[in-house]
Amino acid sequence: MSPAEPSPRLLVVDDEPDLRTLYELTLVREGYDVDCAGSVEEAWSRLQEGGYQLVITDMRLPDGSGLDLLQRMEQAARSERAMVITAYASAENAVEALKAGAYDYLTKPVDLRQFRAVVGSALGRTGAARDAAGAARTSAPPAPPPAAQAAQAAKPARPGQSGQPGQPGQGRTAARPAALARLAGDSQAMQQVRALVEKVARSMAPVLVAGESGTGKELVARAIHELSPRAAGAFVAVNCGAIPEALLEAEFFGYRKGAFTGAHEDREGFFQAAQGGTLFLDEIGDLPLAMQSKLLRAVQERAVRPLGAVAEAPTNVRIVSATHRDLGAEVQAGRFRQDLYYRLNVIRIALPPLRERRSDLPVLCQALLARIARDAGVAPAPVLEPAALAQLGRYAFPGNVRELENLLHRALALAGGLRIAQEDLGLPDDLLGERDAPETAPLPLPLPLPLPLPQTAPAAEATRLPAQPLPRDLAAHLDAVERDILERALALHRYNRTAAGASLGLSLRQMRYRMARLGIGAGTADAAAEPGEGD
């Protein structure tokens, strides 16, 4: 660090003198200017002097808690970033701290290597240091030592960027409209989603994006990344349901040469590839339990051990996960680890299905047609005729925005002009609901179950109904019911296995397994399914 450049100034708040001394010595060796306080009031008094870039506070203090200090800083719109140190038994307090605006948290006993890395991350991601980190990741050399990160953090910001932590620079402001514009829609639900994305982008808190298949969960994850101070880093998207179970650990954590047959060289995993950026775990609910346990340790310890390695390597990665499943129900059923669920579900963003925001259809169609036409080299972009738009408003869209995009792709190809008519959409009348159905009206089930629902009437009334004969072979009967449902789902979605499975709450892998077990998919179904599999 050049003598002319000021050292980043830090405030450590802890009521235990030994720990204060340990943190202070560790940070001073990294080139930081450190002050200490032993209580909430003493810390607040020092903050009034100004000049701090980061506050590191213990959760338990004699006159309050670290949350009290964070709330004061939030109410006063302070620009300093904050880190919280908490005990293992109070992880729920760490979640509250993240929601209150903390950048990150550590658990006791504090690992000093991890402590230095998180402090460097909090201070080294703005201005010139962020650009330098992005360039370093592009050329893929080893991460710089914490002292070098601190030196980078002290360099003056380039014109058009903010040098103060917690204050977005002009580069981030310019990116905001583009990042959020892809989340098209003027409905109240989408406005709330965009507002929440902007708010959570500033911290390191894990985010869980929940919504049906095709609602745009990856767009939300990308918007969080692009609006965050990690925008210069990598965004690594992983479909957890598409990786063979035997390869999961190697793909996530990497491996060393000779770790197994065929490992001829060292290879990075997803965590290493996303170093300094964001790791997006799509369809997290599809991970098997054994891998969930290993992922929990990586998230908890912020370190991974590649296959064939003897030591863990620290990681600096923000986790954003997504699922179309009800993970709370999966936890109750024993298919998803409760501790991992709590780690990932710190902040939840729920995306509404398209059928619940039909008022967004005009804006969505305009944005999608503009992009489709641009990709196809068509100018100007075609427009939907009013009758075509009205017909779309009567469709349930089980595949949500992804299905709408595919439908518009086909309509643009069939239209052959600058106006898309109702007949170009190719929606059969039997798939359309009532024309004037309200946006929030419950939709009829597209696939009614052939079995009668369980009777809840009193026994006296139940005797009036004809008795249902019991099947002589229950397994064969259930297979026949399941086969009928799957075949009707495939026919409804033109033998697109991805869309048919999504309408039934099944992943593509589960759909393939059930079809193979029941002997579905020969001939026409397989031939027609393949083109739409990648939609």
Structural domain span for residue 218 = 181-350
Let me know whether 320 and 375 are in one domain. no
Q: Among all chains, which residue has been given the structure tokens 């880190």? A: 83
Q: Report the DSSP beta bridge partners of residue 65.
A: 60
- Beta-carbon contacts of 32 under 8 Å, excluding residues fewer than 6 positions away, are 7, 8, 9, 10, 119, 150
Q: How far is CA 260 from CA 15, 32, 291, 385, in A?
A: 50, 44, 18, 59
Tokens of 526: 């397989």
Q: Do 392 and 485 lie in a common domain?
A: no
Whether the pLDDT of residue 281 is over 90: the answer is yes
Residue 465, domain member (yes or no) = no
HSE-CB at 191 with a 13 A cutoff on CA atoms is 4
Assess if residue 461 is contained within a domain: no
Among residues 350, 366, 384, the one where a domain terminates is 350
Q: Which of 431, 376, 430 has its CA nearest to residue 408?
A: 376
Check whether residue 209 and residue 340 sit in a common domain.
Answer: yes
Hey, what amino acid is at 135?
Answer: A
Overall average pLDDT of the 442-466 stretch: 42
- Percent of the chain clearing pLDDT 90 (strictly above): 28
| Tokens matching residue 500 | 């048919």
CATH for 528 = 1.10.10
Residue 262: burial class (beta carbons within 10 Å; 0-12, 13-18, 19+): exposed
Using an 8 Å Cβ cutoff, are 384 and 369 in contact? yes
What span, in angstroms and rounded, lies between the C-alpha atoms of 535 and 530? 10
Q: Are residues 229 and 278 in the same domain?
A: yes
Per-residue model confidence (pLDDT) at position 454: 43
Task: Note whether 115 and 263 are same-domain residues.
Answer: no
Whether pLDDT at 221 is above 80: yes
Q: Is 308 left (phi over 0), alpha (psi -120 to 50) or beta?
A: left
Nearest to 250 by CA among 272, 274, 218: 272
Residue 78, pLDDT score: 87
* Pairwise pLDDT comparison (528 vs 54), residue with the higher score: 54
Name, of 82-86, 107-111, 273-277, the range with top average pLDDT: 273-277
* 16 belongs to a structural domain: yes
What is the Cα–Cα distance from 82 to 122, expressed in whole angstroms?
Answer: 9
One domain, residues 379 and 328: no
Q: Is the pLDDT of residue 470 over 50?
A: yes
Contact 370, 326 (CB under 8 A): no
Is-contact 23 14, C-beta < 8 A?
yes
Residue 438 maps to a domain: no
391 in Cβ contact with 427 (< 8 Å): yes
More confident site: 502 or 44: 44
Least confident range from 44-53, 267-276, 349-358, 499-508: namely 499-508
Decide if 440 is inside a domain: no
Does residue 16 contact residue 39 with C-beta atoms inside 8 Å? no
Q: Which of 407, 371, 400, 367 is nearest to 532 (CA)?
A: 407
Per-residue 3-state assignment (H helix, E strand, C coil) for 260-275: CCCCCCCECCHHHHCC
Residue 295's pLDDT is what? 94
pLDDT number for residue 495: 82
How do residues 472-502 score in pLDDT, each as one tens digit? Answer: 878 788 888 888 898 888 888 888 888 888 8
pLDDT at 140: 36
Same domain assignment for residues 130 and 58: yes
Amino acid, res. 143: A
Q: How many other C-beta atoms are found inside a 10 Å radius of the C-beta of residue 341?
A: 18
Q: What is the DSSP string of 121-171?
A: HHHSSSHHHHHHHHHHHHH-PPPPPHHHHHHHHTSPPPTTS--STTS--HH
Query: What average pLDDT does range 412-416 have in this prediction?
Result: 81
- Domain assignment present for residue 82? The answer is yes
pLDDT of residue 91: 56
* Residues 296 and 365 placed together within one structural domain of the fold: no
188-200 helix and 170-181 helix, angle to the nearest 10 degrees: 150
**360 and 346, same structural domain?**
no
pLDDT value for 172: 41
pLDDT for the residue numbered 322: 95
Do 321 and 362 lie in a common domain?
A: no
Q: Is the pLDDT of residue 456 over 70?
A: no
- What is the pLDDT at residue 431? 59
Question: Are residue 414 and residue 346 in the same domain, yes or no?
Answer: no
At position 184, the amino acid (one-letter code) is A
Alpha helix stretches (DSSP H) within 201-282 = 217-227, 248-253, 270-273
How far apart are the C-alpha atoms of 495 and 526, rounded to whole Å? 8
- Say which range, 89-93, 202-206, 350-354, 474-478, has the weakest mean pLDDT: 89-93
What is the number of domains present in the chain? 4
Most confident of 6-10, 94-98, 401-405: 401-405
Q: How is residue 1 written in tokens?
A: 């660090």
Q: What is the mean pLDDT of the chain?
A: 78
- Residue 168 is assigned to a structural domain of this protein: no
Domain end call among 350, 373, 399: 350
Half-sphere exposure of 206 (CA within 13 A, CB side): 24
Model confidence at 291, pLDDT cuts 50, 70, 90, reads very high
Q: Which of 431, 456, 488 is the last residue of a domain?
A: 431
515 vs 151, more confident: 515
CATH of residue 118's domain is 3.40.50.2300
315 and 389 in one domain? no
In this structure, what DSSP letter does residue 60 have? E
**Segment holding 44, helix H or strand E:** helix 40-47
Confidence (pLDDT) at 321: 96
In a domain, 408, yes or no: yes
With a cut of 90, say whether residue 411 has pLDDT above it: no
The average pLDDT across 160-165 equals 35
Specify the range with the lowest mean pLDDT, choosing from 148-152, 219-223, 240-244, 458-462.
148-152
Statement: residue 165 has pLDDT above 70: no
> In CATH, what number is assigned to the domain containing residue 276?
3.40.50.300
